[in-house]
Amino acid sequence: MKISLSVFLVLMLSIPAFADVLVSDDFEDSVLGEIPAGWQAKDGVLAEEFPVVDSLVKNGSKALKVNSAADDHDIWIEFGKSVTVATVEFWIYPDQAGRSVSFLMLNGSSDRADAGPYLGWAAGTDGMLTRYSGGWAATNTAFDVQQWTYVKIVADSDTDTFDIYLGSGPDDLPDAPQEPDVPYRVATEGFDRIMFLGWSSVVGPAYVDDVLVYEGALRPEGVVTPVEPEDKAATAWGAVKSSY
């Protein structure tokens, strides 16, 4: 049976386009004690500030430790292109709620203070995530310390807003964000990297595992995030390594 060109085009347009996976890093291929492979840090930043470690991991046997104790020290990974809508997912374990870690999505052409989504796991906010927009302000989203939490952030540079989701795992995120349409400080042309950083007043490190970044708001089909083995209780993670 022959298909006309117009029907063929309709069929092609009806097939959903698959978004690109921009970053997928479980840190398993990185060297212990070193900055993770593929990530970058400013000149002079010591590896012990952002080392790959084999303790306090969520899945596998390695994770990223954010241990910077100096302002203007950060670690980032670039996507290789700029995208208008980007989604970031990762596990995070803040050891203490005291300016232990911040997370950013930004474009390399902008200063981080003028970045897009800029979140902090910080003290003095009654256990609430903070956001930076010319100053720190508490969100309505609570977080836990000494516990692994799954984070999903969807950012849109057309609207200059982002959504925040938190859950106990990648398949336990709410259908609607706990914090929707959060504005960020300065309009961006798109996002081409994510970044983690610490502070000069840091009181405790944080740990990050299984970083996934993709274009668009929907996880690409076929992308599977690691899950903890059934024989490991959720509360046990952070004290033991995975057995596989």
For residue range 35-56, what is the model confidence (pLDDT) as tens digits? 999 999 988 788 888 999 999 9
What is the C-alpha to C-alpha distance for residues 133 and 169, in angstroms, rounded to an integer?
Answer: 28
What is the C-alpha to C-alpha distance for residues 180 and 207, in angstroms, rounded to an integer?
Answer: 25
- Report the pLDDT value the prediction gives residue 126, as an integer from 0 to 100: 60
- Report the pLDDT value the prediction gives residue 99, as an integer from 0 to 100: 62
Of 40-49, 97-106, 209-218, the poorest mean pLDDT is in 97-106
**pTM as predicted:** 0.82
Counting residues of the chain whose pLDDT is more than 70, the rounded percentage is 75
What residues pair up with 161 in beta bridges, in sequence order?
A: 156, 183
- Is the backbone of residue 59 left (phi > 0), alpha (psi -120 to 50) or beta? beta
Q: What is the mean pLDDT of the chain?
A: 79
Query: How buried is residue 12: exposed, middle or buried, by Cβ count under 10 Å (0-12/13-18/19+)?
Result: exposed
Domain ranges within the chain, ordered by starting residue: 22-216
Of 66-70, 94-98, 178-182, 236-240, the range with the highest mean pLDDT is 178-182
Hey, what CATH topology would domain 22-216 get?
A: Jelly Rolls (2.60.120)
Which residue is it, tokens 């799954």? 150
User: Which of the 8 DSSP states describes residue 232?
Assistant: S
